[in-house]
Chain A
Amino acid sequence: MKRESGWWLLAPALLLLLVAFVVPVAMMVPMSFRPYVPLVGITDGFTVRYYTRLLTDSYYLEIIGRTLALGFTVTLSTLVIGYPVAFFLARTRSRWRSWLTILVVFPLMLNLVVRTFGWIALLAQNGLVNQALRALGLVDSPVKLLFNFAGLLIAMTHIFLPFMVLVLIGAIQNIPRDVEDAARILGASWGSTFCRVTLPLSAPGILSGSILVFVLTISALVTPRLLGGPTYQVMSTLIYDEFLQRLNWPAGSAQALLLTVMVLALVYLSGRLARSTGARA
């Protein structure tokens, strides 16, 4: 008798993916090539102008560059801040451990809009951060932290940190202690053991945490909209405006498809990287 392969277990998820993702994305492809005429709407015809504009106009290139830069810096800062936290939580035998883990996850339980407004209160011209900086005599005039890169970086690092920490905890817990002990006994100091054994073996976790945070960052809408204001645009806010403010669906479709392609390319490249290096771990 033939053994059941088990592929049918994927059917519900595949169906959902098809209806909710593949079909809409596929529908956007023809949409992105149709001309939009102001005051008339979407007309019949064929044009590639939304793509050429996106890839040549400095206004759009700046937004694409800013989105990618934000993605990379938020990923890097969550990694730098999150790794020590995850390392501690994965290794501690303290009875507070589960409470500390809950503390890490806690921000996720608050509404995103509420958290973002919190950052507005903190980062505003007269916000707590600026008041504190002035009280300490570190600055004379208020530092601009809203409607620019710094504000988005700070807030999004905070918002996506739990994802990074949770993924890293899992990865670090998977490293057998014996392997690290073996390195120590063979003459490696703590630092050397960390660099040559612990860090390489947590590479798969670093990679998946980074992909997760990067994708979440470049596709985030609420936080960039509220903290960036109407003028400091990233790709997601641009797409939102294109669809819902200017009603230029073809342009919005072209931008959305570019974002999708960027994300897919990144996931594919990381997969390649994981296979060539991290897969051994």
Chain B
Amino acid sequence: MTAPALTVRRLRKAFGSVVAVDEVSLDAAPGEFLSLLGPSGCGKSTLLRMVAGLVEPDDGQVVLAGEDITRVAVHRRNLGLVFQSYALFPHMTVFENVAFGLRRRGVGETLLGPRVERMLELVRLGPLGSRYPRELSGGQQQRVALARALVTEPRVLLLDEPLSNLDALLRDEMRVELKRLQERLGTTMIFVTHDQAEALILSDRVVVMEQGRVEQIGRPEEVYRHPATPFVARFLGRANFLNGTVAEGESDRTVVALDGGGLSITAGPRQGFASGRPVHVVIRQESIRLEPPRAAPAPDAGVNHFAATIVFHAFAGQAHHYVVQLADGRELEVAAPGATLPLARGARTLIAWRPEDVILLPGGEPRPSDPR
């Protein structure tokens, strides 16, 4: 196994009595695209700024390719940072912006020109070198910022919500461009975002953070399908949360009796919860299928089959959004593919989901605040 490009060890930072980053440790492999994902105020930006050297940690270490850089001055770290605000030098041309880092490294004029030009080509800004930042669009400015950070071939590129100031369409375009650039250059990137879709699409691994702590680190499918905590389940994707108690904890399935009585839900095997244990039952809204109501919906029609009534419907392009009400008054959110025939409000239906799609998380503790 190769040594990590970047290691953060038990990094800690408090502002007054507020602990912004609380003993965070993580590794980024060379060439990895690692996202720090979390709501605003979770400490992800502070963590990034400590890696960059802009914020001094109270405790812990930042190790870059085996070298402890915790106390190394910002300008000697050889990192790149792309800001949400772009932070271009407004009094310099695009060319001079990109050349800035190379000039500080004493790269001679003869070598500098071609390197800057090549980098501008790479971010598709070839002919705009003589323009000033204010003459460019938001997307172009962000590409200048990328070129400026990448031209010095930084050991790690840090990105602080770089796409958040762009409008939705441009953001999608830039995502793809960023990912292709990263694959082409093989630069290790640490990407801070509050946008879960962005993190899932771009990352090799996602670090989900909340209140200065790491909640979970894993591949995008891992954190989405197997969230480690209720916070992660809530923050990634849209899900229904139900509370219950484990009734049967068998090897091939786990049955949970929901609080309030009446209904029980079957989850897949090997959840590892003993009988009597309070749990959160998490069902993603896209895991729920809507089926036409049967003549006589028998309770033993299959596990996780429930009769329901549509109480809300909205069309959202890729999917229809429904809120359905179960017989006991409980409401669930459902996202059904756009192609299926929309069901009108008040229509009776049958909802169902597979046991494998049920996520069980230890319950009993107070509900964490909703990230949204």
Contact = CB atoms under 8 A, between A and B. Distances in A.
Interface string A162-199: 00000000000000101101111111110010001100
Nearest to B76: A187
A207 to B, nearest CB: 13
B74 interface: yes
A182 B100 CA distance: 10
B79 A185 contact: yes
Contacts of B52: 181, 185
B91 A200 contact: yes
Interface string B113-142: 000000000000000000010100000000
Greatest chain B CB density within 10 A among A176, A185, A189 is at A185
Interface stretch (B80-88, B233-241, B258-266): B80-88
A178 B54 CA distance: 10
Contacts, number: 70
A65 B89 CA distance: 40
Contacts of A188: 75, 100, 104
Chain B interface: which size bin? 20 to 34
A235 interface: no
Given A176-B87, A197-B89, A280-B90, A184 B152 contact: no
A281 interface: yes
A200 B77 CA distance: 25
A185 B145 CA distance: 12
A281 B88 CA distance: 11
Contacts of B152: 186-187
A201 interface: yes
B91 A186 contact: no
B38 interface: no
B227 interface: no
Query: Is chain A's binding surface mostly helix, strand, loop or mixed?
Result: helix
B278 interface: no
A182 B83 contact: yes
A179 B104 contact: no
B321 interface: no
A189 B105 CA distance: 11
Interface string B32-75: 00000000000000000000111000000000000000000111
Contacts of A183: 89, 100
Contacts of A196: 100
A182 B92 CA distance: 14
A181 B81 contact: yes
B91 A281 contact: yes
Contacts of B85: 176, 178
A181 B83 CA distance: 10
Nearest to B90: A281
A188 B99 CA distance: 12
Contacts of B87: 176, 178-179, 181-182
B143 interface: no
B78 interface: yes
A181 B100 contact: no
Interface in B136-188: 145, 148-149, 152
25 contacts: A179-B89, A181-B54, A181-B81, A181-B87, A182-B88, A182-B145, A182-B148, A183-B100, A185-B52, A185-B54, A185-B77, A185-B79, A185-B81, A185-B149, A186-B101, A186-B104, A187-B75, A187-B78, A187-B101, A197-B89, A201-B91, A280-B90, A280-B91, A281-B90, A281-B91
Given A178-B83, A181-B54, A186-B75, 11 more contacts: A179-B90, A182-B81, A182-B89, A184-B75, A185-B53, A187-B75, A187-B76, A187-B101, A187-B104, A188-B104, A196-B100
Q: Which 7 A-B pairs have the closest CB atoms?
A: A187-B104, A186-B101, A178-B87, A182-B87, A184-B74, A185-B81, A280-B91
